[in-house]
């Protein structure tokens, strides 16, 4: 097969003159089979790596989309919490948001609970006692 013709048709003729030639032909076929198997394996591995890279890119883009949605939700939520319209949230405005059931539900969607209220405010506060 790998020699381009029936292997046995011409090896039997050669064996009459060179009795050890079968070693050459079997070695040739063995090496060719190993090389072909390595090529097939390399192609399969390369396709798997490309798929994996594409999957990582897809996951990264999904995380970026989720992050943008969460930031949009937070902006909308903070605007609704600003009761005095000053563009900033004081500790009292922020704390009272967890008492309102509708807004508390929005906090839960963003994975924040009332126990996280003070810590979240301290993280977002730049030191002046208000979130801008």
Q: Which of 21, 39, 43 is nearest to 31 (CA)?
A: 39
Q: At what angle do helices 21-81 and 7-15 cross, to 10 degrees?
A: 140
Express each pLDDT in 59-108 by its tens digit.
Answer: 888 888 988 887 887 778 777 777 777 777 777 777 777 777 777 777 77
Helix residue ranges per DSSP H, 82-116 = 91-97, 101-109
| Angle 8-14-15 from CA coordinates, rounded to 5° | 85
pLDDT tier at 36, thresholds 50, 70, 90? very high
Q: What is the DSSP string of 47-58?
A: HHHHHHHHHHHH
CA dist 119 and 41 (Å) reads 53
Q: What's the pLDDT at 7?
A: 67
Q: What is the pTM of this model?
A: 0.46
Q: At what angle do helices 21-81 and 101-109 cross, to 10 degrees?
A: 160
More confidently predicted of 125 and 69? 69
Unique residue bearing structure tokens 């004081």: 90
Unique residue bearing structure tokens 């996951």: 59
More confidently predicted of 48 and 71? 48
- Range name among 14-23, 24-33, 77-86 with the lowest pLDDT average: 77-86
Using the predicted structure, report yes or no on whether residue 1 has a pLDDT greater than 50: no
């Amino acid at each position: 097969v790998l020699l381009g013709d029936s292997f046995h048709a011409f090896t039997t003729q050669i064996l009459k003159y060179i009795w050890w030639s079968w070693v050459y032909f079997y070695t040739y076929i063995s090496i060719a089979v190993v090389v072909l198997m390595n090529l097939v394996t390399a192609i399969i591995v390369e396709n798997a790596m490309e798929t994996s890279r594409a999957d990582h890119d897809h996951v990264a883009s999904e995380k970026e989309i989720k992050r943008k949605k969460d930031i949009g939700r937070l902006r909308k939520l903070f605007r609704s919490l600003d009761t005095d319209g000053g563009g900033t949230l004081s500790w009292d405005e922020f704390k009272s948001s967890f008492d309102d059931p509708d807004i508390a539900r929005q906090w839960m969607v963003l994975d924040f609970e009332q126990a996280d209220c003070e810590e979240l405010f301290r993280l977002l506060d730049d030191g002046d006692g208000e979130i801008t």
